[in-house]
Structures are given as structure tokens and as C-alpha cells.
Structure 1
Amino acid sequence: MIDIKKCPCMGINLDKLIQPAILTLLSAAELHGYIIVQKLQETCILQGKRPDPSGVYRCLRLMEQRGLVTAVWNVSDPGPARRLYTITDIGLECLRNWIHTLENYHRSLGNFLVSAKNAICSRD
């Protein structure tokens, strides 16, 4: 039997939106990876849950390989050197595409919710 708390219906798959969330953060400012992890926790996508830092860094590396972000070592700040991430023009284009795609999903989900509610009401 399924554990309902681990069911996708509980929103556990919203972390799949990490890439557009990172791009959104970087569209506002250059950030260190650690700050990105902290700010992601504050986004509504993760509902206050701390993201897996290693997963975020994997995503950042992949995004860098794809040309969506660039990273440079920041050695001017006190303490250990840290990578400073910046969104690229391709990353901004990708974010625009995410916005368009998510707007379409939003409309489709709205239609689906109306149908699902009607189906439940007809059973009552």
C-alpha cells in the first residue's frame, strides 16, 4: 500500500522546478552556491524545506555545462574561495521559456481542477 505522505499528490515532486527557481534567483543578482541553497529554501516551490545542497550544486554544474550560468572563483572575499554564479543570456532565454511553459501548465491545471472538482461533486 502507498504511504500517502510520500505520494506525488503531496507536492513532493515540486523540487523538479529547481532549475527555473535558480535561474529566477540569478536573474536578480550574482550569488554564491551556498546563498542559492539558502534562498531556495525561502521560495514557495520548496514550501520552506531545505533543498539537498549536493543536488543544487549538481544542478548548477549541469546548468554551467549547458551555458545557462557561468561561475567564477571569488577569492576577494575573506575566507575560502567560493564560486560566484551569474545567469547568461541563454539562461535568461531559458527562464523566459520556463515562464511561458509554466503559464501554459497553470492554465491547463486550472481546467483540470475544475473537471476534478466536478467529478468529485457528482459522486457525492
Structure 2
Amino acid sequence: MPDFIDCPCAGGTLDRLIQPAVPIVLAEGTIHGYPLAARVRERFSLGGQKPDMSGIYRFLKVMEERGLVASSWDLAHRGPARRRYAITPDGLRCLAQWVETLQRYRDGINDLLGAARIAVKKQAETAEAPRS
């Protein structure tokens, strides 16, 4: 029997869908990087898989380069300076676009899931049918 651990059918490539989680958390208010990443990991996962912390930071950097997030150094606390992130008006518009995109994804996934269930059921019925 084949091992499907590294197969796309195991869901390992779905982590890109976690990207809207960053603007969702940022829409709730300004936050430091580590707590933001921790909140994303706590609240959002796909198939039980938690997003990679370094991936969240990379995505924050990309979002900032695109003008969707603004960051500033917080020097008010003792210890090293920490970055605070906030969503921008363009970031909120991007989040609204994510709503549309995720709706289309969900509709497409529902269609795929329905067709896959029918195909599996037909194959199971064919395998169970008595042969003459």
C-alpha cells in the first residue's frame, strides 16, 4: 500500500490558505510580531496542521512591502525593541478580497468533495457487486 504522507492528497500544500489569517488578526488591532504569529497558530489551522512561524513572518514582510501592513519599532518596553504591526486601508481591502476568494475556494472544494464522494461510492459498489 502506498504511503501518502508527502502526497498533495494529504493536505500538506493547503498551508497557503492560512495567509488570510494574518490580516484577520491584524484587523483586530495593532500587535507585536510574536503574539501575532502565536495567535494565527492558535486560531487557524488546516487539517490540524499549524502554520510555520517563520512563514508567518515572511508573509508579514511581503504584506508590508505591498503596503498592506505597516510596522514600527516599539521601544517603550525594557529589553530589545519589538516590531508592532497594523493593517493598512489597503490591507483591509485585501482582506475583503480574501473573503471573495475564500468563498470561491469553498464552493469549488464543495464541488470537488461531492464528486469525489460519488466516485468513491461508485467504486465501492462496483467492487461489492457479485460477479457472474
Cross-structure match for 2:7:
7
Unpaired runs of 5+ residues, structure 1, are none
Contact 1:63/1:69, CA 8 A, preserved across alignment: yes
Cross-structure match for 2:44:
44
Q: 1:35 to 1:97 in 2, by over 3 A?
A: same
Give % identity: 43
Q: 1:9 to 1:63 in 2, by over 3 A?
A: same
Find the aligned partners of 1:2 and 1:31 in 2 and give their Cα distance. 44
What is the aligned-residue RMSD (CA, Å)? Answer: 1.9
Find the aligned partners of 2:87 and 2:3 in 1 and give their Cα distance. 39
* Number of residue equivalences: 123
Q: Which string of whole-angstrom CA distances, capped at 9 and with x for unpartnered residues, describes residues 40-62 of structure 1?
A: 2112325353x433322221111
Contact 1:42/1:48, CA 8 A, preserved across alignment: no
Q: Which string of whole-angstrom CA distances, capped at 9 and with x for unpartnered residues, describes residues 33-87 of structure 1?
A: 11122112112325353x4333222211111010000000000122211010000
Structure 2 SS opposite 1:5:
coil
Contact 1:32/1:82, CA 8 A, preserved across alignment: yes
Cross-structure match for 2:77:
77
CA drift at 1:5 = 1.4
When Rg is computed on C-alpha atoms for both structures, the one with the higher figure is 2
Taking the TM superposition and a 5 Å limit, the aligned residue runs for 1:96-115 are 96-115=96-115
Unpaired runs of 5+ residues, structure 2, are 125-132
Find the aligned partners of 1:79 and 1:18 in 2 and give their Cα distance. 31
TM-score computed with the length of structure 1 as normaliser: 0.88
